[in-house]
């Protein structure tokens, strides 16, 4: 296993981390076996979130008596001080630990969101107090908006960023270079494009060839996935000509109907969060997290069924995606 330093945190993390979303669909014992297998291969970084239902708890059970071998990262959607302070305590209890190495803001979307968390009674204050108390070690931020993260990295407030990066989604490369200049750790989420990329080995090789990336966090719920991913990290080599050709084929195949969640389609005339429609559809179709995806989808007031096919979103999309057709497929996925 190869390791890189996670920016100015100074943490030495495995180039392949453990993504905590898929453990929701397996049992506690299965999760423990998978996590211990990851530890055997040299993986030492894992990422979860308050919003991943039982993920934190299952990971906590697996790390009993093994806490010192792992660097734990998690995140919260809290935006105010009181809510974040509460979530930190819940995370500590779930992980059965008295400290969390990296606590992140989960999916900051807009400048208004960022301003809120950085305000006097915002969630950032709670993280600073938790850091002073030794409950957390470092502070990070995650987002699906490259423009938002370009602002965030210049504030000096964050030690790490997390953003999608994979064969189809490479719009963050300029951001990653700037983060490296600022000594900010870069965590690549969605390395398999939400399960859309089937060749996991090729997907990870592509990511790790970029020296601006500190670690990639593929979701893992099976021993075979751990073994395949770890093999890539054991020997990070340059992409071959054949592999680059295969990458171009993947881009050609997925690029026509793959949402990069850039947000340029917004605002929808019917107030539909269009990128979220495709993310939640992917959770049900490819992540095998049907119940979780459905719960989150149907909790939204405005959904794919509310599309009036005005086409405004398609005119804004920089990737020329057939969004109206894609939303019809989302409706079929959720049987509405």
- Does residue 158 surpass a pLDDT of 80? yes
Cβ neighbour number for residue 104 with a 10 Å cutoff: 27
Residue 218: the pLDDT is 95
Tokens of residue 298, six digits:
């149907």
Of 264 and 15, more confident: 15
Are 178 and 312 members of one domain? Answer: no
Using CB atoms within 10 Å of the CB of residue 29, give its burial: 0 to 12 exposed, 13 to 18 middle, 19+ buried. Answer: exposed
CA 189 to CA 142: how far, in whole Å? 9
Backbone φ, ψ for residue 73 (5° rounding): -125, 140
| pLDDT tens-digit map of 201-250 | 999 999 999 999 999 999 999 999 999 999 999 988 899 999 999 999 99
DSSP 144: S
SS3 of residue 326 by DSSP: helix
Cβ atoms 254, 260 nearer than 8 A: no
Domain that holds residue 144: 3-245
Residue at 226 is within a domain = yes
Residue at 258 is within a domain = no
Give percent helix, percent strand, percent coil of the chain, each to the nearest 5.
45, 15, 40
Are 26 and 133 members of one domain? Answer: yes
Residue at 200 is within a domain = yes
Q: Quick one: pLDDT band at residue 177, thresholds 50, 70, 90?
A: very high
Residue at 227 is within a domain = yes
Output the average pLDDT for the chain. Answer: 95
- Hey, which bits of 37-115 come out as E strands? 45-47, 71-76, 100-105
| Cβ neighbours of residue 239 closer than 8 Å, sequence gap 6 or more | 205, 206, 209, 247
| DSSP codes joined into one string, 90-101 | HHHHHHTSS-EE
CA 328 to CA 323: how far, in whole Å? 9
What CATH number does the domain containing 44 carry?
3.20.20.100
Residue 262: the pLDDT is 84
Residue at 264 is within a domain = no
Are 283 and 151 members of one domain? Answer: no
Are 241 and 278 members of one domain? Answer: no
User: Helix crossing, 173-181 with 146-153: angle to 10°?
Assistant: 10
| pLDDT tens-digit map of 257-306 | 889 888 889 999 999 999 999 999 988 988 888 998 999 999 999 999 99
| pLDDT tens-digit map of 54-91 | 999 999 999 999 999 999 999 999 999 999 999 999 99
Are 52 and 137 members of one domain? Answer: yes
Residue 324: the pLDDT is 97
Residue 283: the pLDDT is 87
Are 199 and 324 members of one domain? Answer: no
Are 31 and 173 members of one domain? Answer: yes
Residue 194: the pLDDT is 84
- Does residue 255 surpass a pLDDT of 80? no
Are 55 and 161 members of one domain? Answer: yes
Per the listing, tokens 């302070």 go with 85
Domain boundary among 228, 245, 262: 245
Residue 289: the pLDDT is 87
Q: Quick one: pLDDT band at residue 179, thresholds 50, 70, 90?
A: very high
Are 108 and 191 members of one domain? Answer: yes
Residue at 268 is within a domain = no
| pLDDT tens-digit map of 293-324 | 999 999 999 999 999 999 999 999 988 999 99
Q: Quick one: pLDDT band at residue 254, thresholds 50, 70, 90?
A: confident
CA 72 to CA 310: how far, in whole Å? 45
Residue at 46 is within a domain = yes
CA 142 to CA 232: how far, in whole Å? 25
Which uninterrupted H or E stretch holds 248? Answer: helix 241-254
- Does residue 186 surpass a pLDDT of 90? yes
Q: How many structural domains comprise the chain? A: 2
SS3 of residue 33 by DSSP: helix
Residue 288: the pLDDT is 81
Measured CA to CA in angstroms, residue 49 lies from 112, 255, 333 at distances of 22, 29, 25
Cβ atoms 306, 327 nearer than 8 A: no
Which uninterrupted H or E stretch holds 39? Answer: helix 28-41
- Does residue 173 surpass a pLDDT of 80? yes
Are 233 and 301 members of one domain? Answer: no
Sign of the C-alpha dihedral computed for residues 294, 295, 298 and 302 taken in this order: negative
| pLDDT tens-digit map of 102-118 | 999 999 999 999 999 99
The pTM assigned to this predicted structure is 0.91
Residue at 75 is within a domain = yes
| pLDDT tens-digit map of 36-46 | 999 999 999 99
Residue 195: the pLDDT is 84
Are 328 and 205 members of one domain? Answer: no
Are 190 and 325 members of one domain? Answer: no
Residue 176: the pLDDT is 98
């Amino acid at each position: 296993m190869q390791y890189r330093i996670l920016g100015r945190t100074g943490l030495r993390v495995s180039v392949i981390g453990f993504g905590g979303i898929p453990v929701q669909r397996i049992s506690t014992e299965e999760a423990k076996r998978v996590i211990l297998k990851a530890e055997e291969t040299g993986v030492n970084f894992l990422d979860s979130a308050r919003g991943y239902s039982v993920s934190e708890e299952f990971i906590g059970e697996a790390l009993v008596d093994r806490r010192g071998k792992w660097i734990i990262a998690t995140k919260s959607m809290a935006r105010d001080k009181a809510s974040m302070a509460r979530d930190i305590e819940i995370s500590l209890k779930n992980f059965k630990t008295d400290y969390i190495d990296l606590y992140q803001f989960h999916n900051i979307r807009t400048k208004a969101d960022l301003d809120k968390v950085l305000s006097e009674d915002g969630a950032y204050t709670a993280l600073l107090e938790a850091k002073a108390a030794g409950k957390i070690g470092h502070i990070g931020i995650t987002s699906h908006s490259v423009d938002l993260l370009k602002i965030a990295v210049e504030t000096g407030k964050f030690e790490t960023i997390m953003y999608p990066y994979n064969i189809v989604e490479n719009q963050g490369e300029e951001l990653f270079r700037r983060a490296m200049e600022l000594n900010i750790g870069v965590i690549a989420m969605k390395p398999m494009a939400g399960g859309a990329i089937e060749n996991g080995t090729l997907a990870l090789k592509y990511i790790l060839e970029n020296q601006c990336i500190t670690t990639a966090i593929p979701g893992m719920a099976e021993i075979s996935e751990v073994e395949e991913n770890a093999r890539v990290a054991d020997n990070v080599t340059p992409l071959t000509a054949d592999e680059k050709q295969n990458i171009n084929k993947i881009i050609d195949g997925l690029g026509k109907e793959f949402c990069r969640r850039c947000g340029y389609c917004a605002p929808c005339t019917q107030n539909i969060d269009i990128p979220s429609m495709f993310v939640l559809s992917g959770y049900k179709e490819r992540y095998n997290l049907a119940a979780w995806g459905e719960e989150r989808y149907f909790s939204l007031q405005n959904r794919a069924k509310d599309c009036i096919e005005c086409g405004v979103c398609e005119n804004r999309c920089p990737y020329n995606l057939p969004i109206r057709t894609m939303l019809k497929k989302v409706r079929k996925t959720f049987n509405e």
